[in-house]
């Protein structure tokens, strides 16, 4: 079974990582709960660390980040080049939050700082008419969110699969090999709360309170994690 390459795009502060781990740790824990046979390898692409070849991997998972997909940092520009190459080769690819955003930014879409401000807490994603493989259009699933940027135009060839009230482009696919989600199926409620606490002043009190209050709502993260694994399934067999 080939491992999944996790392209890590952030370094969580020590005070949070001590309890919750880094983003690759969160993905490994949550995805392994769905399939304990999975294997993973981590690459800190925010430090320009990449595998020599992707041939030995089931595919690539790009994590969330505090960085912006439209920033011009050298590592972000390099990651966009790698995304273009992976799409050209039809490498199985999943992007979460920043990963969702930078995939579209790299492939011809557009990401902006949302004028509505922060989106935090539990949010309901409604399936579109294009999401027949994921459920009945109009059905919904809930995920934790933590973002201020959002995709406002998608890469050519994209299917928009789900939307939230705040984020019209919340889940997308290209063919069978690429899936992106704005929400965070890897987050725990405890980490979402800790992140909101850390950003409370920037988020603003009304949005912070709504986000904290929403944490009692049920989550459909298991379903989203399975969708992610389906992208890699043919290579993981």
Q: Which residues are catalytic?
A: 97, 184, 186
What HEC string does 201-219 produce? HHHCHHHHHHHHHHHHCCC
Give the Cβ contact number of residue 150 at 10 Å: 22
Residue 235 to residues 8, 35, 77, 117, 127, Cα–Cα distance (Å): 21, 14, 28, 39, 27
DSSP class of residue 166 equals: S
Which residue is it, tokens 């994209």?
158
Structure-block tokens of residue 67: 């960085």
Which residue is it, tokens 């390459």?
5
- Strand-pair partners of 6: 42, 61
> Dihedral through CA 190, CA 70, CA 51, CA 37, nearest 10?
30
Q: Are 59 and 94 in contact (CB under 8 A)?
A: yes
């Amino acid at each position: 079974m080939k491992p999944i390459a996790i392209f890590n795009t952030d370094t969580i502060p020590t005070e949070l990582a001590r309890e919750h781990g880094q983003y690759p740790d969160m993905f490994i824990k949550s995805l392994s709960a769905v399939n304990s046979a999975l294997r993973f390898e981590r690459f800190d692409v925010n430090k320009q660390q990449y595998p020599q070849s992707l041939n030995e991997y089931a595919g690539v998972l790009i994590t969330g980040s505090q960085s912006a997909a439209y920033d011009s940092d050298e590592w972000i520009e390099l990651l966009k080049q790698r995304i273009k190459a992976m799409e050209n080769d039809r490498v199985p690819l999943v992007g979460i939050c920043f990963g969702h955003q930078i995939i579209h930014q790299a492939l011809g879409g557009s990401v902006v700082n949302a004028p509505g401000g922060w989106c935090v807490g539990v949010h309901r994603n409604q399936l579109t008419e294009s999401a027949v493989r994921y459920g009945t259009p109009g059905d919904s699933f809930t995920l934790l969110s933590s973002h201020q940027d959002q995709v406002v135009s998608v890469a050519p060839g994209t299917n928009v699969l789900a939307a939230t009230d705040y984020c019209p482009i919340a889940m997308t696919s290209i063919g069978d090999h690429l899936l992106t989600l704005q929400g965070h199926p890897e987050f725990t409620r405890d980490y979402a709360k800790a992140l909101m606490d850390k950003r409370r002043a920037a988020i603003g009190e009304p949005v912070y309170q709504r986000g904290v209050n929403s944490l009692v709502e049920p989550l459909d993260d298991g379903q989203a994690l399975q969708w992610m694994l389906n992208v890699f399934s043919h290579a993981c067999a």
